[in-house]
Amino acid sequence: MLPQTQCAQCGYPGCRPYANSIAKGESIDLCLPGGPDTQEKLATLMRRIPAINLSQHKEVIAIIDEEKCIGCSLCLPPCPVDAIVGSKNHLHTVLKSECTGCELCLEACPVDCIKLRNTGELLQKPDDRKKTTLKSQIACIDCNQCDRECPANISPHLLHKLILKNDHNSIEKSGLASCIECGICDFACPSGIPLTEQFRSAKKRLNEIHREKEQKTNLLIRYESHQNRLAKGQNKEKQKRSERLGDKRPWL
């Protein structure tokens, strides 16, 4: 559920350590990039009441001023997802598609050439499905007439109920992908519920959820690769130091 930015703004070195601490009783109100959406999910999972009203952060990415960059490479190690590309005495740049806006590189830059640029997009987009009105929640009379008319042999009645509950896992298992959005269920519904519009929105939301999961997985993989690379570099330095001192024992 955490955004996998590994920004350490919660006070822990990454999302996994913070998740472990939440399981042990730590506050659920420390993830600033996740904002109120992540806070709400954690509150539901852990059955706790949030103590702080987190603001919805806007997405930002780091930008390197090419005229000021001196190629010192001090910004490379702090980046948890290796979003900065460059080498010693050469110009550095930021991969915009990989940057999570964690701000860890700002303090490391000795010439203050790294700035954050606001993209104007929210990190966590609101769920449009939550805008369902009370009228549509009470309009269904459970006549199942839409089920009998559906040419795709799915249950629009069941899908409608699951969408109101915001149960994405059950929605995906209930044949939403088979919906051809023909609109026949709209005409069959005596209450006039816009079923096709709901199904179209639910498909869009499921696609967003899959993209978010894939992005989080990729960020986690990059973070772990970054940690492994740093660990290997430290071991090589230790080995070189021991060889200079005459100690030939291999470092593990």
Contact predicate 114/75, CB 8 Å: yes
Contact predicate 202/171, CB 8 Å: yes
Give the model's pLDDT for residue 213. 87
Identical fold for domains 1-56 and 58-126, yes or no, is: no
Q: What is the pTM of this model?
A: 0.49
Give the model's pLDDT for residue 105. 92
Give the model's pLDDT for residue 114. 94
Report CA dihedral (76, 82, 87, 89) to the nearest 10 degrees: -40
**What's the topology of domain 131-241?**
Fumarate Reductase Iron-sulfur Protein; Chain B, domain 2 (1.10.1060)
* Domain residue extents for the chain: 1-56, 58-126, 131-241
Give the model's pLDDT for residue 252. 54
Amino acid letter for position 95:
L
For 58-126, CATH number? 3.30.70.20
Architecture per CATH, 1-56: Orthogonal Bundle (1.10)
User: Distance (Å, rounded) from C-alpha 145 to C-alpha 1?
Assistant: 38
Give the model's pLDDT for residue 120. 55
pLDDT tens over the chain, length 252 residues: 998 888 888 989 889 999 999 999 999 999 988 888 899 999 999 999 888 888 876 678 899 998 889 999 999 999 988 999 988 888 899 998 888 888 899 999 999 999 998 875 433 444 443 443 333 444 678 888 888 888 888 888 888 888 888 878 888 888 888 888 888 888 888 878 888 888 888 888 888 888 888 888 888 888 888 888 888 888 888 777 777 776 555 555
Give the model's pLDDT for residue 153. 87
